[in-house]
Amino acid sequence: MISEKLQNAINEQITAEMWSANLYLAMSFYFEKEGFSGFAHWMKKQSQEEMEHAYAMADYVIKRGGTAKVDKIDVVPNGWGTPLEVFEHVYKHECHVSQLIDKLVDVAAAEKDKATQDFLWGFVREQVEEEATAQGIVDKLKKVGDAGIFFVDSQLGQR
């Protein structure tokens, strides 16, 4: 049985993951409007991945005898700048999500819930990859400049 404190903390993370999904979906719409279909595709995939995180967390809470909840999802920004600025925002956001997951692991440790700690370590490892991927895209966009932006757009469309 999952503790109420841990259940509530995971439910907050479910809401955060759904907000992230909406953020990336909004970025996808923006990129599509701006003519960057590859970036738009990458963001849609990222949005789907964030929803999968929410689903996995909800399933876990239920399997442990708890109640998964969907809370109010706040509005996400809809205006963005250059592709570089958007991906810099993605990187900062992924760093923020990593901090949220780390705090969730701390709650599981304080509750002495080793099963949940083990479950959450998968998300910790995935966040390391997501941060590295976002940073890699930022680095690539900085190197190619305006002239190579469509090349990077094409590459990300293959995700």
pLDDT at 152 over 90: no
Q: Which pTM does this prediction carry?
A: 0.92
Which residues lie closer than 8 Å to 80 by C-beta, 6 or more apart? 27, 30, 86, 89
Residue 37 confidence (pLDDT): 94
Over 90: is that where the pLDDT of 24 sits? yes
Tell me whether residue 155 is annotated as binding. no
pLDDT the model gives residue 10: 98
Confidence of residue 150 (pLDDT cuts 50, 70, 90): confident
pLDDT at 132: 97
Report the alpha-carbon distance of residue 61 to residue 11 in Å, rounded: 8
Total Cβ atoms within 10 A of residue 22: 17
Segment 83-136, tens digit of pLDDT: 999 999 999 999 999 999 999 999 999 999 999 999 999 999 999 999 999 999
Reference 7, options 104, 100, 118, 123; nearest CA is: 104
Distance, CA of 72 to CA of 146 (rounded, Å):
39
> What one-character DSSP code corresponds to residue 113?
-
**CATH 1.20.1260.10 is right for the domain spanning 4-156:** yes
Q: Is 41 annotated as a binding residue?
A: no
Q: What is the per-residue burial (b if ≥16 Cβ within 10 Å, else e) of 72-96?
A: eeeeeeeebeebbebbbbbbebbee
Instruction: Note the pLDDT of residue 74.
Output: 94
- How many residues are listed for the chain in this entry? 159
Report d(CA 128, CA 148) in Å as an integer.
27
In this prediction, residues 68-86 reach a mean pLDDT of 94
Q: Is the predicted pLDDT of residue 151 greater than 90, yes or no?
A: no
Mean pLDDT of the chain: 95
- The answer to whether the annotation marks 85 as part of a ligand binding site is no
The pLDDT of 58-80, averaged and rounded, is: 95
| 149 pLDDT more than 90 | no
The predicted structure's pLDDT at residue 65: 97
Q: Is 50 annotated as a binding residue?
A: yes
Percent of the chain with pLDDT over 70: 99
